[in-house]
Amino acid sequence: MALASSLPARAAVRPAAARIARRRAALHWLAVHSLAVAAALFFVLPFVFVFLTSVMSDQQALTSELWPHQWRWGNYAKVWHTPGFLTWWRNTLVYAGAGTVLTVVSSLPVAYALAKFRFRGRGLALTAVISMMMLPPQVTVIPMYLFWAKQLHLTGSLWPLVIPMLFGDAFSIFLLRQFLLTVPREYLEAARIDGCGELRTLLRVVLPMARPAIAAVALFQFFYCWNDYFGPQIYASENEGAWTLSYGLESFKGAHHTNWNLTMAATLLVMAPVIVLFFFAQRAFIEGVTLTGVKG
Amino acid sequence: MALQLPTPPALRRKRRREAVRTAAFLSPWLIGFGVFFAYPLLSTVYFSFMRYDGFTAPTFAGLKNWDYVFNHYPFFWTGLGNTLWLVAVMVTLRVAFGLGIGLLITKVKTGAGFFRTAFYLPYLAPPVAATMAFAFLLNPGTGPVNHLLGKLGLPQPGWFTDPSWSKPALTLLALWGIGDLMVIFMAALLDVPREQYEAAELDGASPWQRFRYVTLPNISPIVQFAVVTGVIQTMQYYTQAIVAGKVASGVIGGSGQQFEPGYPHGSTWTLPQMVYSLGFQRFDTGSACVVAVILFAISMAFTSVLLRRGAGLVGED
C-alpha cells in the first residue's frame, strides 16, 4: 500500500508488477514465520511436556499419555517437603549469592587495571586471564582437592568453591575489561584533575558507568554457581548437608525411582528461579552475551 | 647547562607509586593466579610422574602412569574418541544451527520479542535439570518424543539407552540450548552494513549469493570465535554426559553405587569424566593427572588459536 501511494505513476503503469511484488513479500513473511513457529515448538515443547508430566498422578506418570487426567498440584508440595530439598535450596542460594558478590568485588579492580593502566606485562596478564578462562576445571581439580582436603580440611562444605571467588574470576575480569575499554579516557582524567585517587575514580566515576556490565557479570556468575555440578560433586558430595540443588536433583531421581512426575516437578523447581531472574534482567543479560563476542 | 630536566628522583618516585598502585589493583587476581592456576597446574604435571593413592606418600613412577593410560587403561581411547566425536559433530551443528536461528530471528517481523525469548530460554536451563528433562522426554518406554514418533509411524530410537543414539541425543540437548550463539550471531548479523546488501541486490544477486558473498565474509570472525570457543567448551563436556548416563542406567546419586562408565557401552564417556573416575573413584592420582595434562594440552592449543586469530578479542585501549 505504501509503495503504491508513494509511486502512483509507476503503480498505474505496472499494476501487475506491484501485485507480484506484494504477493512475494507475503509469501516471504509466511515462510519466515512458519519456520519461526516450528523452531519455537522445538524450544518450548520440552518445557510443556515436562510441566504436564509434573502434575500427573503417580499411575498416569507411568504411561506415555501426554495430558494429565487430574491436575495433581500436590506433587510440588511433595517435592518441596522431601528431606534435604530445602537445605539444598539454602546452600545453592548461599553459594550463588556469596559467589556473585565476592566475584564482582574482587574482579572489578583487576579489570579496571587491565583496561586503563599502562604497565609492563599488561599483554601477558591479559593472555593469562584468557588462558585461565579457557582452562577446563578438571585439569587442576586433583591438586586443588588435595589442597582443600589435606591442608585446610574444608571438604564436605562449599568453602572450597566460595573462597576462590575472593581472588577474581577470569571470565568476569575479561568481560568487565571489555566493557571498561569503552569508557572514555577523558572522564578518568577529569576525575584525576579534580584530585581523585584511582580508587575514588573507580568508585565514583567508573562504577556508575559500568553498571550494565556489572549487572551482566553478576548474573552470569549467579547462573554459573546455580548450575555448577562439578564443583559441589567434588567438594560437597561427602556431606549431604552441603549439597546444592544441581547435585541433589540427580539423587532425587534415585530416591523416586521411576516417578517421573515428582522428578519433573523437582526439575522445574530448579529451573524456575533462573528463568524468573532472566525475565527481570533480560536486557542486562543479552548485553552481556554480546559483550563476550569479538567486539574489541 | 641552564636547561633543567625533570628531577630523576621525583620521576622514579612517581613510577614506583604507579607500580605499587597497579600491583594493588591486580593483587586479588595475582594471588588467584598463583594459588588456583599456576600451582595446581605444575602440581598436576608433577603428579603425572608420581605414584600416589592420596594416603601414603607419593613415590616417583617415571613414565609408568603415561604407559598405563595409553596402553593399558581400557577406557582411554574410547573416551578420547567420544570427546573428538562431540567436538566434530556437536560444535559443527551448534554453529550451523546457531547461525540459522540467528538469521531467522533477524527476519521475523511479527512477534519478534516472543520468538527471541522462546529461542533463548532453554539456554538458561541448568545443565543437570535440562539433562533430566531430556532423559525423560527421550526415554524409550514412556517418553513423549518416542510416543509422537510412533504415532507418525517413524522409528523410535533408544536414545540415551542405545550406544549409537546416546551421542546424537546429547547433541540434540546441546542444540536445544542454542541461545548463547543465537544472540552472538544476531548481534553480528545486525552489524553487517546495509549498503552492501543493497548493492548486491542492484547487481541482481540471489538470496543465496547475498548470504555467501555479503553476510558470510562480514561475520566470519564471529563464526571463527564460535567454533574455537565451542571446541574448548566441548573438551570440558562433563555434566550432561555423566547425568544422562546415570539416569539412563538407573544408577543414581548419593548411595555410592558405581555406574557403568559412559553408559551405554562407554558411548558417553569423555576425557573429563576420566579425570574424575581415576582420581576420585580409583584413587589413582598419577593416571588421573596424565589425563588432566592431555586435556590441558589440547585446550591450550585451541586457546592459542583463539588468541592469535581473535585480535579483536583482546582489543586495544
Range of the domain at A146: 81-292
pLDDT at B257: 54
Local confidence pLDDT in tens for the 317 residues of chain B: 455 666 678 888 888 888 899 999 999 999 999 999 999 999 999 999 999 988 888 999 989 999 999 999 989 999 999 999 999 999 999 999 999 999 999 999 899 999 999 999 999 999 999 999 999 999 988 899 999 999 999 999 999 999 999 999 999 999 999 999 998 999 899 989 999 999 998 998 988 999 999 999 999 888 988 998 899 999 999 999 999 998 888 755 444 456 677 889 899 999 999 999 999 999 999 999 999 999 999 999 988 887 876 545 554 44
**Chain B closest CA to A261's CA: distance in Å?**
10
In a domain, A52, yes or no: no
- DSSP assignment string, chain A: -HHHHHSHHHHHH-HHHHHHHHHHHHHHHHHHHHHHHHHHHHHHHHHHHHHHHHTS-TTGGGS--SS-SS--THHHHHHHTSTTHHHHHHHHHHHHHHHHHHHHHHHHHHHHHHHH---TTHHHHHHHHHHHHHS-HHHHHHHHHHIIIIIS--TTSSHHHHGGGGG--HHHHHHHHHHHTTS-HHHHHHHHHTT--HHHHIIIIIHHHTHHHHHHHHHHHHHHHHH--HHHHHHTTT-GGG--HHHHHHHHHHHTTT-HHHHHHHHHHHHHHHHHHHHHSHHHHHHHHHHHSS--
Q: Are residues A7 and A94 in the same domain?
A: no
Q: Are residues A186 and A261 in the same domain?
A: yes
Q: Are residues A146 and A30 in the same domain?
A: no
- Cβ of residue A41 closer than 8 Å to a chain B Cβ: no
Are the C-beta atoms of B115 and B122 separated by less than 8 Å? no
In a domain, A220, yes or no: yes
Q: Are residues A273 and A142 in the same domain?
A: yes
In a domain, A72, yes or no: no
Say if the Cβ atoms of B187 and A43 lie within 8 Å. no
Instruction: Tell me: pLDDT of A270 over 90.
Output: yes
For an interface test with A, give the residue of B14, B22, B116 to mutate (most A CBs within 10 A): B22
Q: Are residues A231 and A100 in the same domain?
A: yes
Which CATH superfamily hosts domain B74-269? MetI-like (1.10.3720.10)
**Chain A closest CA to B220's CA: distance in Å?**
11
Distance of CA B93 to the CA centre of its chain: 14
For CA atoms B109, B110, B114, B119, the dihedral sign is negative
pLDDT at A98: 96
B-chain CB neighbours of A53 within 8 Å are 136, 144
Q: How far is CA A198 from CA A168, A178, A193, B79, in A?
A: 19, 19, 11, 50
Q: Tell me, what amino acid is at B220?
A: S
Q: Are residues A38 and A181 in the same domain?
A: no
What ipTM was assigned to the predicted interfaces of this complex? 0.89
A-chain CB neighbours of B31 within 8 Å are 167
Domain count, chain A: 2
B-chain CB neighbours of A226 within 8 Å are 126
Least confident of A60-64, A170-174, A219-223: A60-64
In a domain, A201, yes or no: yes
Query: How many Cβ contacts (< 8 angstroms) between chains A and B?
Result: 291
SS3 assignment, position B165? coil
**Chain A closest CA to B80's CA: distance in Å?**
15
DSSP B51: E
Q: What is the pLDDT of residues A152-177, one digit of tens each?
A: 999 999 999 999 999 999 999 999 99
**Burial class for A155, CB neighbours closer than 10 Å (0-12, 13-18, 19+):** buried
Smallest CA–CA distance from A167 into chain B, residue: B28
Measure the N-to-C terminal CA separation of chain A; round to a whole number of Å: 43
**Chain A closest CA to B69's CA: distance in Å?**
16
In a domain, A99, yes or no: yes
Domain edges within chain B: 74-269
Looking at per-residue confidence, does A65 or B96 come out higher?
Answer: B96
Q: Are residues A255 and A137 in the same domain?
A: yes
For chain B, the 3-state helix, strand and coil shares in percent, each to the nearest 5, are 75, 0, 25
> How far apart, in whole angstroms, are the C-alpha atoms of residue A139 and residue A242?
24
Say if the Cβ atoms of B183 and A63 lie within 8 Å. no
Nearest CB to A62; choose among B126, B130, B142: B142
Q: Are residues A118 and A254 in the same domain?
A: yes
> How far apart, in whole angstroms, are the C-alpha atoms of residue B94 and residue A27?
28
Are the C-beta atoms of B287 and B76 separated by less than 8 Å? no
In a domain, A149, yes or no: yes
Name the pLDDT band for A291 (thresholds 50, 70, 90). low
Nearest CB to B292; choose among A114, A139, A166: A139
Are the C-beta atoms of B316 and A122 separated by less than 8 Å? no
Measure the N-to-C terminal CA separation of chain B; round to a whole number of Å: 39
Q: Please report the residues numbered 196 through 215 in chain A whose beta carbons come closer than 8 angstroms to any beta carbon of chain B.
A: 198
Q: Are residues A186 and A242 in the same domain?
A: yes
In a domain, A108, yes or no: yes
> How far apart, in whole angstroms, are the C-alpha atoms of residue B261 and residue B263?
6
Looking at per-residue confidence, does A252 or B280 come out higher?
Answer: B280
**Chain A closest CA to B76's CA: distance in Å?**
16
- Cβ of residue A171 closer than 8 Å to a chain B Cβ: no
DSSP B125: S
Over range A102-110, report the average pLDDT.
95
Q: What is the pLDDT of residues B55-114, one digit of tens each?
A: 888 999 989 999 999 999 989 999 999 999 999 999 999 999 999 999 999 999 899 999
Q: Please report the residues numbered 262 through 281 in chain A whose beta carbons come closer than 8 angstroms to any beta carbon of chain B.
A: 263-264, 267-268, 270-271, 274-275, 278
In a domain, A114, yes or no: yes
Cis amide bond preceding B264, omega within 30: yes
- Cβ of residue A227 closer than 8 Å to a chain B Cβ: yes
pTM tops 0.80: yes
Nearest CB to B115; choose among A36, A106, A127: A36
Compute the residue count for chain A: 296
Smallest CA–CA distance from A169 into chain B, residue: B29
Q: What is the pLDDT of residues B40-68, one digit of tens each?
A: 999 999 999 999 988 888 999 989 999 99
Among all chains, which residue has been given the C-alpha cell 533408544?
B158
Q: Which CATH number characterizes residue A112's domain? A: 1.10.3720.10
